[in-house]
Structure 1
Amino acid sequence: MTKRNSASDTNNANDVDMTAVDQGSKKPKICDDVFAYPKDEYTIECDFLKSSRFEILYMATRARAEVPRMLLEYVGANYSSAAPVDWPAGKKETPFGLLPVLTHVKPSGEVFTVPEVPALTRYLGRLFGLTGKNFEEDAILDACFQSATDNILNVLLMEVWMKPDPKNKECINTAFEKLVPIFDGFERYLAANGSNGYLLGEKTTFGEFPIYDWLEHFYKEYPENAKALVSETVRPSIYKLYKRFDSNPRIRAYIDGGRWEYRPASPMISLYSAGVIVSNWDEAFEFYNKKLGLKCVRNVEVGGDGGRYAEFVVNEQEKTRFTIYTSCKDTEIPKRNGGISFTVRSVKDTHDGLVKKGVSSKMGPTKMPWGEMAQVADPDGNVLTLNSGP
C-alpha cells in the first residue's frame, strides 16, 4: 500500500494509509509494561495504573454501567461504584447531563472525567492495553463493541421491553430471531481469529465485554432462547468467549458476590491529608524528614513572609499525605486546626453546598500553588480543608 503524504508531521500516526505494521509501530503507549498476561490472568505492572483510582457514577443497577464495571474488575483496578445523591438535580454536574460517568483520579491527584459508555470503555481499554495493535484491529473491536451495545439493545427495547407484556413468549422469540444476524457477525470475527474465544490473537479486548455481558444476562433471563442462540454446537466460537469470561476468577467473584456495592456518591473523593501546625519550621522539617525518614513530596511557601507548607509520604504508593504547616509572621494560627484535608470533586461546589447546609466557612475557594482550596469548620471549630488535589 502506498503511504500518502500528510499535511501534518510525517511522524504523526493520523496517516490512515499506513500499513497495519506501520500503524502498530507508531501507536502511542501509556507506559511500558502496562500488564502481565499469563493465561488470561491480568496483572497490572505499571505504577501509574497501580496508583490510579476509578469511580463509575451510575444508578444502582447493571444496565449501561456493567460493561465498564466488568472491565475494571477483570484488570483488578482500584475502583468503586457510586450512585448519584440527588438526581436529576445532579445532571448539571455531569458533562452531558447523562450517566454513567467515569472518574479517573490519577496518582498526581489530577481528576479526569469521561462520559458516554463507548468513550469511557475505550478510554479504559487504551489505559489497560485491551486494544488492538493497529487501526484495523481497533476497527474490529469498535464494530463488535458498537453492535453489542447498540444493536442488541435496540432489538430488546423494540421487541420486548417496550411491549405491553415484556414476558410474552412470542415477543421474546421474535427478538431472538432478530438477534441472529448480529451474533452471526460475532461468530465470523471470532472464527477468523481461529475460534479460540478471542476476537484478536489470544488477548482479552474491550470489544468482548458487552458480548459476554449480554450472554450472561440471556442465560439467566431467557435460558431456552439463549441456548438456541449460542451453545457448544451453535456458534461455538462465541460460546468459547462466553465460557472464558464466565470462568474468569475476578468476574466470577464479582457476579457471585452480588456485583456492585451500592453507595450514594459523595462530593468527597478521598482523605487527602492529615497533619500538624508547627512553630519552628526548620526543626519540624528535620524531625519528620531526617529523623522519622518520611519522604517530602511538596515544600512550598504560602501566605507571605514565613509561611510554609510541606507534604510527606511513607513510600511512593502512599495516597494520604502527612503535612506540616507554619503560618506567616503576621497571621495568627487558629487555635483549632488538625490539618485535615479532603480531596473533592469541585472545591467551589462543595464549599458552597456545605455553607448552604449551615456549615461555617473559614476561607472561600482560593487559588493555591497546587490548585484550589477552601476551608470550613466543624461544630467544635476544627478547620477542615477542601482541596482540589496536588
Structure 2
Amino acid sequence: MTRIGILSEFDVSSSWARSTNLHHMVQAVASLCDAIVPYGPLQARGDRLRGALATASRRLRPEGRYSPHYSLRRGRRLAHSAREHFERDPTDLVLAPKGSAITAHLELPVPLVYESDATFALLEGYYPSATGLSARSARAAHELERRSFARASALVFHTRWAAESAIRDYGADPAKVHVIPIGANLDPRELPGPDALAQRSVEGPCRLLFVGVEWERKGGPQALAALDALTRKGIDAELTVVGCAPPPGVHHPRLRRARYLSKAVPTERRELMRLFSEATFLLVPTRAECFGCVFAEASAWGVPSLTTFTGGVPEVVEDGVNGFTLPLEATGEDFAERIARLLEDPARYAALVRTTRARYDAEFTWEVWAQRFGERVLAPLLGERSG
C-alpha cells in the first residue's frame, strides 16, 4: 500500500484550494497511490507577528522591505512542524509543492519531491512580489532555495526555463531535475467536444478575453490599447476583463468588466466557462509570467492565446499552434495587427482552433501530468510500490 504525503502551508481541501492547481495536483497524485496524507496547513510560531511586520514594512519601506515568507528561522519552525506531522502518520514519499520554506531544513527517512514553477533567482527583479526586498530577505530566499534543492530526492518544474535556473543558479543535480507541465484547472467533463469546436469562427464580434488578478503585470494596459487599435480599424471588437478591475479613470465603450470569478463557486465557474466558450481570443500580454495556467485553460476551450515572449510562456503558448507570443515590447497596435490578420483568414483561424485544443489534449491535462509524474518521478523513487 503506497501512501504519499503532501506538504503545504495551505489547506488542500479548502474551497480556495479547489480552484487552484494545488487541488488538481493532489487529485492527480491520488490516482497514482493508495492514499494521500495532507501534512498541513503548516504554520510557524510567530507567523501573525511576521505578517504584521511585513505590512508595516510595505508601507514604510517600499524598497528594502521585509518578507515573512523568506526567513531561515521560520523555515526551521515549519520543518519541525512538518516532521511532527510525518512522525504521527508516516508515508512512503512526501511531495512539497512550492515548498522551499518548508523543506530547506527538513530531514525525512523517505524520498522528498519538490515541485514549483520558478526559482527565486528568476523571480527577483521580475515579479513585483519578489522585487525591492531587503538584502536580508533576499539572502534568506536564495538560501532556502539552495538548501531545498540539495535536500530533495527529485525536483519537478513546470518549464525548462525554471529547471535550467535550478541547475544554473543553485547547483541542482541535473539527474534529479524533471520538467512536467501542469494541467489546466478545469473539469474535463465541462469542455466542448469536436462539434462545438468546429463551430468556432471569426464571424460576428471579435470577443477578446483578459483573465488575471493583476492588471499591470498581466498586461492590462496593452490589452486595452489593442482593443482601441482594433476599434479604430473599424473592427467590431470587445474586451472582457476577468479577475481584476482596471484602475479608476480607465474606460472604453467596448470594455466589459466581469469581476473575479472563482471556479470553486458553481455559478461563477459556469460564467467563466461561458466567457471562454464565447471568446475569439485570449489576450493576456503579460509582463512577467512563470507558466500561465490560463493559457492552458484557453487551449482546453480551443481559444488561441495572444501573449508575450517572457518567462515560461513560450513553453505553454507555441507560435502558430495554440496562439502567438509577441515580443515583450510589442504595442497594442502590434497585437491588433496580428488579430486583424487572423480575422481576415477564417480557414487559418479554424485550423488554429483545432491545433489549440490538440495541444491541450497532448500537454496540459492532469491525466498526462499524472502519467509523466508516475513514470519519471515515482517509479524511480518507489520502484514496484509506485504501481
Q: Could you tell me the TM-score, scaled by structure 1's length? A: 0.27
Considering Cα pairs closer than 8 Å and 6+ residues apart, tell me whether 1 or 2 has the greater RCO: 2
Which protein has the bigger helix share? 2
